[in-house]
Chain A
Amino acid sequence: MEKLYWDDFEVGQVLNYGGMTISREQIVEFAREFDPQPFHVDEAAAAASPYGGLIASGWQTAGLFMRMLADNVLNKSTSMGSPGVEYLRWHKPVRPGDTLRVRHTVLEKRPSQNRPTLGLVKNRFETLNQHDEVVMEMVSIGMFLRRPAAGKDGAA
């Protein structure tokens, strides 16, 4: 299958994908390594916190979103990474057993100023849970290869 180039994304396009369920063990394993705040690793401390129970590190939610983006879009594309994220908000906690999916809206696109083979795409990514609540929202930029000009020699 031909990969998606920068040229193939359309402003206004909405893509829906994902469906990953996160377990208690995954939440604790990630948090022990990267973000061992009590409400991410300790059931009793989490129950006593304002969150009322164990919740995933927001950085793990970002990682799970990234996994869904990579599996469903980037690995079928000419992705060259990302320069960054305009903003990210963690709107609601992610809890054990939650199933996450992504609503991906293409906001803008433009050619790269300094790399003629690349184009930039600005996207809004909303990560939703099984209750259709937005748990995380971000706007970020992706870099993709532009489709090489075909048939330059005029053969047609």
Chain B
Amino acid sequence: MELHVALQKSFGAFSLDVSFTVRGERIGVFGPSGSGKSTLVSLLAGLQQPDNGIIRLDGELLYDSHDATNIPPEQRRIGIVFQHPYLFPHMSVKGNLLYGYKRSAPANRRIDFDSLVAVLQLDHLLSRGVHNLSGGEKQRVAIGRTVLSSPRLLLMDEPLSALDDTLKFQIIDYLKAASEAFRIPYLFISHSLLEMRIMADRVLAASAGRIEAQTTTEDLARSRMGLSPVGYINLLQLAHPRKVDGMSAYAWGGTELLISADGDHPESLFELSSKDIILIKQHPDAISARNLLDCTVSGTFRSGGKVGVELACGDGRLVAEVVQQAACELGIEIGSRLFAAIKASAFRRLG
């Protein structure tokens, strides 16, 4: 997918002025609320008119103020998943799911109804009305409805913001499953860096109506490490724990990580803050932290007065942060050997 956008739109004191070309399948638009992300979504989908500019998707002109090209929303094939599900209240779950499917040209239908229902686990809900669904079920139906319309581009406008944490990570799994199964390129809009890192590869950073940078999610996370109160969040996908003294031991980086969260799930995503990793130069005799990893420094970076230290431990990678003085005292440079001490309770399961 290639999207070229150069748009201006003003309302009152706020003005949106964006210009970017982005290629890829998993694109994020990251920025605080009020940065113009949702306006951008409306303009891309054709729900609002820009003051002037151009929108080109995969070489096709969707909007051009110079020659008055303005493809109406129903012909753009750009689907939206909003923060709230907005299901049609007068239709059943099946009626909602098929609304866009029935209106798509048969030649464009790439998604099979039954396989979508299976991926989003909606089969038992099909004949139900939409009023008695739970929040997560509603959002799954909304995602399915949009995906079934076979859009060329999917705009997800803060689709997880209205959900609590547990539900959020369930829906993330469904979103990932649907996007992997049906390969629809998407723009994932969010103010959450964590969601961005899970859902997107490339990121457009929005601020005050402008796109300030185009970067990778990894670089974005690193650049924000020193500014964020939670530091850099290491995301670890861990599986098949075994029980050890009331803790769970997960295979990682050629060794084992001891984590105090219970290990009922066969597979879990854990977060670990860069602030919760203590770096030591020599192996201590004894330490209360249950994880002492023998690491090699594979890279360093600066962020907001802090030094980010990229650690290689077997095939595992972690980012720790230290202040400048500590970096000097530890003699951190690429290739130097360090021990990383991490408490078992520092890991937090997501979802």
Are both chains from one complex? no
Q: Contact residues of B with A, CB < 8 Å?
A: none
